[in-house]
Amino acid sequence: MRYDLEKTLLNKITTLPQLKAHMAEWQNQGKKVVFTNGVFDLLHLGHITYMVKAAELGDKLIIGLNADASVKRLKGESRPINDQNNRAALLAALFFVDAVILFEEDTPRELITSLLPDVLVKGADYTVDQIAGAAEVLANGGEVKTITLVNGYSSTSIINRIKVQNEVKG
């Protein structure tokens, strides 16, 4: 089977009005919509495991992706390693991801409040009261879930290992 890159991947990368229309259609079909977010700079096993567990909590998985300017504010001037277009395309390539939407703010609170998914998911390194948009999702009758992260995996730790290896070789 051949894949048309534009049709298969890029159609999953969406705008807020398009995503709201998709969500309305999915929910009218009785589908449970799950939302999670992150930087997803260097995609690794920890990310994949986390997203699969999030996808298992419903029928459709939306990924809110920090835009480049947001990543720089949160992680520093040297980040992201991969720009937002590359990160979005990699996420869209995952079969269990149904939509990817970029957001410019430091947290996705505005986006979550606008979408009001059925299930909001973050890593268990957050408590529910620390999760942006949790209060709004709960007030709308939705659920907020946390997922245990896979130890030893983070983009920052991978970047630091690369830096150390380069210094040793240098």
Among all chains, which residue has been given the structure tokens 């949160």? 74
The rounded distance, in Å, linking the Cα atoms of 68 and 102 is: 9
Mean pLDDT of all residues belonging to the chain: 91
Domain segments of the chain as ranges: 5-169
Task: Give per-residue burial for 89-127: e unless 16+ CB within 10 Å, then b.
Answer: bbbbebeebbbbbbbeeebbbebbeebbbbbbbbbeeee
CATH superfamily of 5-169: HUPs (3.40.50.620)
% of the chain at pLDDT higher than 90:
74
pLDDT of 111: 98
pLDDT at 1 > cutoff 60: no
Give strand pairing partners of 66: 103
The rounded distance, in Å, linking the Cα atoms of 96 and 91 is: 9
> Using an 8 Å Cβ cutoff, are 57 and 34 in contact?
yes
Residues 112-170 have pLDDT tens digits of 999 999 999 999 889 999 999 999 999 999 999 999 987 766 767 776 767 767 677 76
